[in-house]
Amino acid sequence: MYLWVHKLGSPRYFYSFARVVAPLLAVFCAVTMVWGLYQGLVVAPTDYQQGESYRIMYVHVPAAWMSMFIYVVMAFASAISLIWHIKLADLIAQKSAPIGATFTFLALATGSLWGKPMWGTWWVWDARLTSELVLLFLYLGYMALHEAYDNPSTGAKAAAILALVGVVNIPIIHFSVEWWHTLHQSASVSKLGKPSMPSSMLVPLLVMAVSFKAFYGTVLLWSVQAKVLEREYRSKWVRELLLGAKT
Amino acid sequence: MSLGTAFWRLLRRDLLLAVRRGNEWINPLVFFVIVVSLFPLGIGPGAKTLQLIGPGIVWVSALLATLLALDGLFRSDHQDGALELILLSPHPLSVLVLAKVLAHWLITGLPLVLLSPLLGVLLHQDAKVFGVLMATLALGTATLSLIGAIGAALTVGVRRGGVLLSLLVLPLYVPVLIFGSNAVASAGMGLAVEGQLSLMGGGLFLALALAPVATAAALRVSVE
């Protein structure tokens, strides 16, 4: 098992791995997303309190979960690249950042759209919203730092340090609804307790979460594949792959 | 030389340089006063409004003044090559970084703290909050210097690194700002401030323990 993980650090092996896995993930993502959206937007029962407008939860909550998940993946990948000097880990972190930033923005935007009918306001400076906004700034800062360096490997190392420094924000976001009782509701789904949602609403939510993860995986694998080709364009296996030439 | 001697020598060097180049500590202080003065001019001089938002104004201005001063933390040393020599020393870099950050705080943070009651008067703050104001600013600016040093180290090799530094460091400053200004506002209303001050103290100790290590790693990356 460890040998396989270690092998993935080689750009060539990763490329052939991604070639097989990414299309499968894409199909899985499409299937689960269609099923999840159908179940969530059409089949799931109407909420007694919020009516139909609660259905934006099926996009808002998975997007918010992804925004935090991707940052943690970025932090892990950054740690791996700093400790073991594996360049592929750098690429994974670098290519995850725009996806994570987009999910964060999506979470904020869909939350805002949900908040207007529900709370009567587009925005409120409560703990969860503020810390999620700070997460967006952290993503943007990470991407800016990467671009600021002329030398891409120095930029990658500097950005890796920044990602590790910023990971303290993730527990703050997660626990913000427990530490401060302001406007955003507390957690309805927990790993240990019974969820406070009926399964007819919970199952589509979890399916959407899985489909968002598959989406992230697909897009990440495709972007890193492209970047690997860009970086390794001089090597024989890339030339054979792209030109079919045996030099 | 021993680690203690190296620490003291570096601290003394930075303090001497700052005293000789008055700019380094006077400019952020003047910036602090000017920015605080801009708010009544922009919002309107009504005493009630200023009393309400005064703590926030002082805190945000202190934050911006600290940011302004942070750029010079490593840059001048980087430009004349002294930073590389510091990196080559056999002593743990995080301790030497701590010496530089301490010097930076003594030069820029401490004067802010001492000047804050005067600015409190300008913003119609009650005298009873001055103690809490100075305490939160003392704890806060120290934390800001420590966290900001990470950003300064990450951007020292970058052209036009000043704005990027602000972008990187301001999201990390948000908790300090929230607790600091909240403490002063609570003190103004006569509520307890032990909670906020304890959390700020905790934040300071966390930064004291971890920020020098991150800064040292960032310096090694930036200077190559």
Q: Find the CB nearest A145 among B168, B171, B214.
A: B168
Q: Residue A131 is part of which domain span?
A: 19-44+55-185+198-243
Q: Find the CB nearest B171 among A141, A145, A164.
A: A141
| Average pLDDT estimate for A129-141 | 90
Cβ atoms < 10 Å from Cβ of A31: 13
The answer to pTM > 0.95 is no
Predicted confidence at residue B140, as pLDDT, reads 94
Minimal Cα distance from B206: which residue of A?
A168
What are the residue ranges spanned by the domains of chain B?
3-223
Kindly state the tokens that stand for B209: 């323990």
Which band of pLDDT confidence, cut at 50, 70 and 90, is reported for residue A89? very high
| Average pLDDT estimate for B194-217 | 93
Alpha carbon distance, N-terminus to C-terminus of chain B:
25
Q: Find the CB nearest A154 among B170, B174, B224.
A: B224
- What count of CB pairs under 8 Å joins A to B? 53
Please, are residues A23 and A173 in contact by the beta-carbon 8 Å criterion? no
Which band of pLDDT confidence, cut at 50, 70 and 90, is reported for residue A185? low
Q: Which residue, among B169, B180, B176, has the nearest Cα to A137 in the 3D structure? A: B169
Please, are residues A148 and B155 in contact by the beta-carbon 8 Å criterion? yes
Please, are residues A140 and A97 in contact by the beta-carbon 8 Å criterion? no
- Tell me what percent of the residues of chain A surpass a pLDDT of 90: 48
Tell me whether residues B221 and A154 touch, CB distance under 8 A: yes
ipTM of the complex, rounded to two decimals: 0.84
- Number of structural domains (chain A) is 1
Distance CA B180, CA B132 (A): 9
Q: Looking at the domain assignment, is residue A6 inside a domain?
A: no
pLDDT at A194 over 70: no
Distance CA A102, CA A118 (A): 24
Minimal Cα distance from A143: which residue of B?
B168
Predicted confidence at residue B76, as pLDDT, reads 87
Q: Looking at the domain assignment, is residue A26 inside a domain?
A: yes
Q: How many residues are given for chain A?
A: 247
Q: Which residue, among B60, B42, B65, B73, has the nearest Cα to B153 in the 3D structure? A: B73
| Average pLDDT estimate for B126-151 | 92
Question: What are residue A51's DSSP bridge partners?
Answer: A47
Q: Looking at the domain assignment, is residue A137 inside a domain?
A: yes
Distance from CA of A121 to the nearest CA of B (A): 22
Kindly state the tokens that stand for A146: 């990467």
Task: Kindly report, residue by residue over A18-48, the tens digit of the pLDDT.
Answer: 999 999 999 999 999 999 999 888 887 887 7
Distance CA B167, CA B165 (A): 5
Please, are residues A108 and A129 in contact by the beta-carbon 8 Å criterion? yes
DSSP H helices, chain B, are 3-20, 23-43, 47-70, 72-80, 82-88, 93-104, 110-122, 130-155, 161-188, 194-223
Write down the mean pLDDT value for chain B: 90
Distance from CA of B214 to the nearest CA of A (A): 7
